[in-house]
Structure 1
Amino acid sequence: MNNNTPLLATQHPFGHEITLEALLNDFQKLKAWEDKYRQLVQLSRKLPALPDELKTTEKEIKGCENRVWLGAKLNNDGKYHIYGDSDGRIVKGLLTIILAAVENKTAQEIADIDMLAIFDQLGLANQISQSRTDGVNAIIARLKSLTSQY
């Protein structure tokens, strides 16, 4: 990843103002799938769209139900700024959870995260379709590939 990526164009609240712990707390209060679905849609609205110049073929992830772009920037402190976007609301909502879990973490910390366990804790693992689960797995694989390059 080019470290010259304009940071402002990729800023988002996940991992900072919206933490994984807060998401776990919010989702545990929701019992019905419809409520969790609405929460995913609300989260997707909080992730700013990437500028078109960052929606490149090299950042696009194959194997997702919707188009998804993912990028990483290694900061001077050895921690990553991870950013992304999707053209699907649910997939974008799932992406926000991933971003909350991995933002401002080292490559080793990211490698140690069990994202599927997090989706299980959120009560989403058994609710999302197999194609979306495959897409989440593709996002996670790309994320780990991006952060192992440095």
Structure 2
Amino acid sequence: MSAQPTTKRLSTRIKMVFAMVLGSVSVAAIANSATQVIEARQQNFETIEQNMKPLNSTLNTDLIDWSQFSALAITSHQAAIELQSAFPKGSDAGSRAKSSIWSKPAKFNTLMSQMEQGYADMLEAAERQDMALAKRGLKQVSGTCKGCHRQYRSVW
């Protein structure tokens, strides 16, 4: 019995997990009211927040568990994709998001796209087992999180 190369198994595993994620109903797609929209986007932000530390920890070990890194990057990437359409007009009331998201959306949308791209880079890094690309993607995501929190999130 010959063993498949690790990269081929990883590639197949990534494709299967990605297909499952895409095949599932997105949280944002089923949100009908402004309250549901806010709850859906908060859930996506929580997913991203919960995954940041484990993503970072995974890269700071001697032997990287690329399948774990990939799984975390996949769920975070899906959340980032959903967040790009999670701020429709009228979904500002009752949230901590600042009104500038809706009144001046260009920079906010750019930051959201940069976050999504950072996760896309992490997915590619997991497939190629490329530590440098994984760290660049994580750094990009981290920078966009900080940028958005400072400019677009109210403390109150």
TM range (shorter): 0.3 to 0.5
Greater relative CO (CA pairs within 8 A, separation 6+): 1
More strand, by proportion: 1
TM-score (norm 1): 0.36
* Larger helix fraction of residues: 2
Larger Rg: 2
Q: Return the TM-score normalized by structure 2.
A: 0.35
